[in-house]
């Protein structure tokens, strides 16, 4: 009986990494310049995951537009297009109470190993959280940090 239990534990442990690999993800932290005057430095930290094909999106994203506002959002959608991830969030906490409940899309491009210039862009806030992440490809270079986009496929 102990052998069967030990074998079951071993099989479960071996299967766990495979289940992790079967999800789409975008993770990391980076800083970039904002697109709107007065061009604040923006730091974005993302931990977004979804089952293959964008199903069951989960995770969070925090944004700090230094000197202006900070907010955190729950992931509502995630789509991958090669090395580019589109992440949708619903803002759940903010230094500006008017942001809470709003939605936003972000594009994050993983351009290789750390040291290469990844890129990112946030789009205007919307009244509702996105439930679908359509292709968006405008980005600006990350001045420091690194993002990793991983496809389950």
118-138: pLDDT as tens digits = 999 999 999 999 999 999 888
Name the E strands within 3-130: 23-33, 41-51, 55-65, 69-81, 84-94, 103-109, 119-122
Locate the domains of the chain by residue range: 24-150
> Which of 6, 68, 80, 13 has the alpha carbon at shortest distance from 42?
68
What tokens were used for 108? 């994050």
User: Within a 10 A sphere around the Cβ of 124, how many other Cβ atoms?
Assistant: 8
What is the rounded average pLDDT for all residues in the chain?
84
Q: How many CA atoms lie within 13 A of 22 on its CB side?
A: 7
Do 147 and 26 touch, CB atoms closer than 8 A?
yes
105-122 tens-digit pLDDT? 999 999 887 656 899 999
């Amino acid at each position: 009986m102990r052998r069967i239990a030990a074998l079951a534990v071993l099989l479960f442990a071996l299967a766990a990494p495979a289940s992790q690999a079967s999800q789409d993800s975008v993770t990391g932290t980076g800083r970039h310049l904002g697109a709107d005057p007065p061009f604040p430095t923006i730091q974005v930290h993302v931990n977004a995951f979804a089952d293959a094909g964008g199903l069951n999106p989960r995770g969070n994203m925090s944004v700090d537009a230094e000197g202006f506002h900070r907010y955190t959002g729950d992931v509502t959608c995630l789509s991958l297009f090669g090395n580019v991830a589109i992440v949708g969030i619903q803002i759940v906490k903010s230094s500006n109470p008017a942001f809470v409940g709003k939605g936003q899309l972000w594009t994050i491009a993983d351009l290789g190993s750390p040291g290469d210039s990844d890129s990112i862009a946030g789009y205007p806030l919307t009244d509702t959280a996105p439930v679908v992440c359509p292709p968006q490809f405008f980005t600006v270079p990350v001045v420091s940090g690194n993002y990793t986009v991983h496809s389950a496929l």
